[in-house]
Amino acid sequence: MDGARAFEHGSSQRIRPRVVLAILVGLIVVASLGYIALKNRGVEIPAHVVDATDRASVLLRRDDSSNRHQAIERLRTIATENPSYVDVQAELAVALTLSLSDAQADAERLRLRGAAIARGLEAAAKMRVLADQVARRTSLQQEQDANAREMASLRDTTDTLRKELDVQLAQLSKAPESEPPSAAAARLKARALHASVLAAPDSWPWPSVCATWRAPRTRGARWLGPSTH
């Protein structure tokens, strides 16, 4: 009996640390899973914020300057009031990128017009009738001045867009270690569109296409990225 008791006592001494270790491991696993779930949980976004973002996106998909301007203004307001709402921050970056693409296309159009005016001035200088030459040069110089003013205004607009877009993309680049696919897709769309505009600024067809594409989003739980406060 004493031998049996000693054996049982020795066995329990060996088993007890294993049980304690197993419990500790279990607690660590549960705590880790709880932390991940807490970090990745959806955060309820008010329905009016979701609806306002969706309405602004509808305006953006109409793909004309007036509606795009309205969409940007609305998205700016929503983004300012919800700085950690990834969907609206990404949508604003997309809208700004599309506007930048339009501005770059306008700049190319003005550049081509300026080159055509310059050729016209060269041709006018060769006119044999002085009165015709003077009239033609005067008309072209007026066009040239107007073109230069438009270029200067567009340059200011483009610089402003670039600065705002840089800030917007910098905020989007601060992605958490883990986030829902919809938020990751929104970030990816905005950054890919921006990279495409920089790669082919004058004649690429993608802004209109990308403006119509949206990653599927569900009502209710909405993902919020890291707080900027």
pLDDT tops 90 at residue 16: no
Tell me if the pTM is above 0.75. Answer: no
Q: One-letter amino acid identity for 29?
A: V
Tokens standing for residue 39: 């970090």
Among 20-34, 58-72, 94-108, 186-200, the minimum mean pLDDT is found in 20-34
Q: What is the pLDDT of residue 138?
A: 97
Q: Indicate the SS3 state at residue 221.
A: strand
* Domain contains 37: no
* Domain contains 89: yes
Same domain, 165 and 138: yes
End-to-end alpha carbon distance in the chain: 70
Contacts of 65 by beta carbon, 8 Å cutoff, 6+ apart: 102
Q: What is the pLDDT of residue 198?
A: 74
Q: What is the pLDDT of residue 18?
A: 52
Contacts of 44 by beta carbon, 8 Å cutoff, 6+ apart: 220, 221, 222
- pLDDT tier at 146, thresholds 50, 70, 90: very high
**What is the percent of the chain with per-residue pLDDT over 70, rounded to a whole number?**
64
- Model confidence over 36-82: pLDDT tens digits? 433 444 456 788 888 899 999 899 888 788 898 999 999 999 999 99
Same domain, 53 and 12: no
- pLDDT tier at 31, thresholds 50, 70, 90: very low
Report how many domains make up the chain. 2
Same domain, 22 and 66: no
- pLDDT tier at 189, thresholds 50, 70, 90: confident
Mean pLDDT of the region 121-149: 95
- Model confidence over 215-224: pLDDT tens digits? 444 443 344 4
pLDDT tops 90 at residue 118: yes
* Domain contains 40: no
**Mean residue pLDDT across the chain:** 75
pLDDT tops 50 at residue 20: no
Same domain, 50 and 28: no
Most confident residue range from 36-40, 165-169, 179-183: 165-169
* Domain contains 227: no
Higher-confidence residue of 183 and 157: namely: 157
Range of the domain at 4: 1-32
Report whether 121 contacts 142 (CB < 8 A).
Answer: no
* Domain contains 229: no
Report whether 116 contacts 213 (CB < 8 A).
Answer: no
Mean pLDDT of the region 202-212: 41
pLDDT tops 50 at residue 177: yes
